[in-house]
Structure 1
Amino acid sequence: MSSTLEVIDNPESQAIESNEKPLSFKRNSVLILDDEQGIRNFLQKGLEKVFGLVEVAEDVEEAEALRQRCNFDLIISDIRLPGKSGVDWVTEIRSQGSTTSVIFITAHASLETAIAALRVGASDFIMKPFRMDQMMASIESCMAHQQMQRENIVLKRQVDQLYDSGMIGDCDTMKSVCEVIKRIAPMPTTVLIGGESGTGKELAARALHRWSGRKGSFVPVNCGAITEELMESEFFGHTKGAFTGAQKTREGLFTYANNGTLFLDEIGEMPMSMQVHLLRVLEEKVIRPVGSNRQIPVDVRIIAASNRDLEEEVEKGNFRQDLYYRLNVVNVRMPPLRERMDDIPALVQHFSQTLSSDLGVDAQTISGEDLHQMRDYHWPGNIRELRNVIERCLLLNLKPGQCISAEAGESSPAGSVNNSALLEDIEKNHILKVLESEDGNKSAAARILGVSRKTLERKVKAWNEL
């Protein structure tokens, strides 16, 4: 014990005394547990300068009593203690759910001791004798890691809220959809999402991936946007020289989605030749790049979506029956907006808040009459159309009824505008906003807008003549 204190009490070793910019954890608390009074006194004296609360204990019983009264941010504990060891105590509090950061100190180190400390999630392991600058470096690293963990938790909550906010709906139909998605998300099974265009199929797929816990990426692909000739290469990759134009080896979408999720939107557009390859991958869990003889194992969760009735497509001979059954292990149907009209107020509020922030305009107050008009509309474009209507209202400072009339192609009532006028007003507002951001500099605004200065001047002149 004397040798330990001899080094610790060396004034030159107390880096905290001479630190020009001392660390500060005034909002944090620390518990010091050690049976040597000299160690306790020294650490207490040094740490009271940087921590808001410092408590000391000489045995586990006293430390546990203090812990019951205060949720400490950090515990500094000796390993060898009278009665119960520091490792055994930390093991117990971990089993109770404690996530407090722990730094162990000991004068009797061994490989077994170090392993035991790491197993209970110790942030650091410091040998006695130690200097105060060693302790402070360990504390700084420990608290920085703790802060990062807290920020990650906050970020995770924000991401979860983002996905939850996208799945807005209090109607029974949407509640059932969300319950199914959360239930099947952790499972590796394939999922087929059905529903009309604009009902939020990709949003449901992203929620499935987010709640799955899979470490890989979410990779969305529109099957109707890839030509049949390039589809195999896009999905599985190719080797250099595999075909004309293949100047280098390229990885495919399955590789990018490995350990993650591949979302096949508009799966009904996939040609028969590619359906055969997809079925093989689903069954064998391997891919073979174009031009290669090597098979590559992959762990990819497949989520497919279609606004077509795939059963009808199977009957017509446009879609393979075996692939349909392989994809349709679990079927999730996204309801059209006309079946969830009671969700319109919540959806309108959500879109109004998020879009007004994105566009830099004030959010609108939607009246009861506005909501009544929106409930009376049949919404052929579903939620995507609703979002577009709210965005148009914000851009042009119009009432939802005016935008709905234009959307439906109806004759415009007094005070409303037709589609052409809406587009012209959107263009005008955007150009004027860019001009304002560039302090009226037409050359700079033209570069941002991607038009010539002459074109920009002509448009502005026309507006000024109105």
Structure 2
Amino acid sequence: MQHEREGGAAGPAGTPEFNWQAHSVLIVDDEEGMRSFLERALKPRCGLVETAPDAEHAMRLMARLHFDLLILDIALPGKSGLDWLHELRESGFAGDVILITAFADLDTAINALRGGASDFILKPFRVDQILNSIKNCFQRAHLARENFILRRELAGLSADVEGLVGHSAAMEELRTVLRRVAQMPSTVLLLGESGTGKEVAARALHRMSPRAQRPFVPVNCPAIAAGLIESELFGHVKGAFTGATETRNGLFYYAHGGTLFLDEISELPLALQTRLLRVLEERKLRPVGSEREVPVDVRIIAASNRDLAAEVAAGRFRQDLYFRLAVVEIVIPPLRERAEDIPDLVRHFMQLLTVQLGVAPLALSNALFARLEAYGWPGNVRELRNFIERSLILGGFPVEALGARGDVLAGGMDLPLDEVEKRHILRMLDACGGNKSEAARRLGVSRKTLERKCAEWGESVA
């Protein structure tokens, strides 16, 4: 028994942010010594502290009392703590749950977090460890309530462009352009590197437009097989081709009255570019295999991570389609050109992902922000989001990994951007053992785009 050692002196846990006495805690553990240890630590601090030796006793207490937090042992007699946690979440219990256990492995930890645990603590632990975990739970609940109230008060009052995070000069200029362009019916071409947030900008344009109450239909052009994309966009009639056993509407149909977002449009085959141009000019389409033209009322927003003017010069993109799309051309800045937005983005993703993952937020510091702002972020905002998600899963920020990735940029400050991109992609492929699908996922691009780049460089990767 180590409870006396674990229960060493600890300072007051109260903080000015919230009142500990306003919170109630239920301790569920089959070991009497652990229940007593936790009860002694919490009763002077919290308004209500109850204990139970198993899930059955705990359920009876919860039937008549409200608890903000459960401290739940995994290894309980009868129903295990992990099984009961799943049942609680399925039944709608929204309170925080801290799981404790003397026996744990990675699978158990993952199952706990997936099951909705707020934290996972391995026995034996010190008083300050459990108090800090409880404090984080109480603070998160306090902030969630405040956020809910503030969002209701600010709804309809904010002039901000939803989805765009950051207050750098580049982002403020982008917001100004998007607000103005959103009201126009014109076709828009969004240009920017992979991961900069082109779809976020497209959705913002749609939400601020007169079409906001109509559908927004995103299409990832490289993700659709070349032989199917015509049917996906325009639809087909029964018998139009082998396997067409029934008539099917296309994405233009489902976007009628709203916005169709064509992401990575540079990946469209030339033959389909011709058909798309005709639809844009005539505002009519003909489903595959049909003789009947169907009128369409759709605003087109297209996006590309490539220089379409250069693609036109190289003969890979139709010039007339480029001019038809680029009525309004908006460039989304890469993250390295607005590094001052990184703290805002980190806080945004932390708030978003802690809810999705069911984990406690991590502590942020100016030193951390300085490290993040010094990194080049070749994968842009998408890479930063993945970094925050990985950090929350691991329970800490793996900033040393950024240093390793930064070698790509640190050693190539005098290189052209294309060469920096090439080095980074090839190093990522090497890190993934040549697995293109995994490398593409980490880079935030499609496998087709990755294969095309490798072919351009003469690189053959299995």
Which bracket does the TM-score occupy, shorter chain normalised?
Answer: 0.5 to 0.7
CA distance in 2, matches of 1:242, 1:356: 48
**Residue aligning to 2:226:** 228
Q: 1:244 to 1:157 in 2, by over 3 A?
A: farther
CA distance in 2, matches of 1:182, 1:277: 31
Match of 1:245 among 231, 234, 243: 243
> How far did residue 404 of structure 1 move?
2.3
> Which range moves more in the overlay, 162-171 or 312-321?
162-171
Superposed CA deviations along residues 225-257 of structure 1, whole A, max 9, x for unmatched, are 222222211111111111111100000010010
**Residue aligning to 1:109:** none
Match of 1:166 among 163, 168, 172: 163
Say if 2:195 and 2:381, in contact at 8 Å, map to a contact too.
yes
**Residue aligning to 1:325:** 323
SS at match of 1:166: coil
> How far did residue 161 of structure 1 move?
7.3
**Residue aligning to 1:218:** 216
The letter of the residue matching 2:202 is A
Q: 1:157 to 1:219 in 2, by over 3 A?
A: farther
The letter of the residue matching 2:200 is L
Match of 2:264 among 266, 275, 280: 266
**Residue aligning to 1:186:** 183
**Residue aligning to 2:196:** 199
Match of 2:290 among 289, 292, 298: 292
CA RMSD of aligned residues (A): 2.4
**Residue aligning to 2:372:** 374
SS at match of 1:340: helix
Superposed CA deviations along residues 258-308 of structure 1, whole A, max 9, x for unmatched, are 001100000000011000000000000001111111111010000000000
Superposed CA deviations along residues 67-101 of structure 1, whole A, max 9, x for unmatched, are xxxxxxxxxxxxxxxxxxxxxxxxxxxxxxxxxxx
Q: 1:194 to 1:155 in 2, by over 3 A?
A: farther
Say if 2:235 and 2:288, in contact at 8 Å, map to a contact too.
yes
> How far did residue 407 of structure 1 move?
5.1
Q: Tell me how many residue pairs correspond in the alignment.
A: 259
**Residue aligning to 2:338:** 340
Q: Within 5 A, what are the aligned runs for 1:393-432? A: 393-405=391-403, 408=406
CA distance in 2, matches of 1:390, 1:205: 24
Alignment gaps of 5+ in structure 1? 1-153, 411-418, 421-466
Q: Within 5 A, what are the aligned runs for 1:130-169? A: 164=161, 166-169=163-166
The letter of the residue matching 1:311 is A
Q: Does 1:177 align with 2:190?
A: no
CA distance in 1, matches of 2:246, 2:160: 38
The letter of the residue matching 2:314 is K
Q: 1:273 to 1:157 in 2, by over 3 A?
A: farther
SS at match of 1:323: helix
Q: 1:162 to 1:180 in 2, by over 3 A?
A: closer
Match of 2:206 among 195, 209, 221: 209
SS at match of 1:213: coil
The letter of the residue matching 2:253 is T
Q: Does 1:353 align with 2:357?
A: no
SS at match of 1:262: strand
SS at match of 2:228: helix
CA distance in 1, matches of 2:159, 2:400: 30
The letter of the residue matching 2:208 is W
The letter of the residue matching 2:307 is D
CA distance in 1, matches of 2:247, 2:303: 30
Say if 1:163 and 1:207, in contact at 8 Å, map to a contact too.
no
Q: 1:163 to 1:279 in 2, by over 3 A?
A: farther
> How far did residue 335 of structure 1 move?
0.3
Say if 2:161 and 2:179, in contact at 8 Å, map to a contact too.
no
The letter of the residue matching 1:253 is L
> How far did residue 403 of structure 1 move?
4.4
CA distance in 2, matches of 1:314, 1:160: 44
CA distance in 1, matches of 2:329, 2:350: 31
CA distance in 2, matches of 1:388, 1:163: 25
TM-score, normalised to structure 2, is 0.53
Q: 1:167 to 1:308 in 2, by over 3 A?
A: same
Q: Within 5 A, what are the aligned runs for 1:36-185? A: 164=161, 166-185=163-182
Alignment gaps of 5+ in structure 2? 1-150, 409-430, 433-462
Say if 1:262 and 1:300, in contact at 8 Å, map to a contact too.
yes
CA distance in 2, matches of 1:159, 1:383: 27
Say if 1:272 and 1:318, in contact at 8 Å, map to a contact too.
yes
**Residue aligning to 2:447:** none
SS at match of 1:365: coil
> How far did residue 337 of structure 1 move?
0.5
Bigger relative CO (Cα 8 Å, ≥ 6 apart): 2
TM-score, normalised to structure 1, is 0.53
Q: 1:228 to 1:156 in 2, by over 3 A?
A: farther
**Residue aligning to 2:88:** none
Larger Cα Rg: Structure 1 or Structure 2?
1
SS at match of 1:243: coil
Superposed CA deviations along residues 189-220 of structure 1, whole A, max 9, x for unmatched, are 00000000000000000001111121321111
Say if 1:199 and 1:337, in contact at 8 Å, map to a contact too.
yes
CA distance in 2, matches of 1:159, 1:289: 41
Match of 2:362 among 364, 375, 382: 364
> How far did residue 401 of structure 1 move?
1.5
The letter of the residue matching 1:363 is P
The letter of the residue matching 1:204 is A
Match of 1:256 among 254, 257, 272: 254
Q: 1:263 to 1:369 in 2, by over 3 A?
A: same
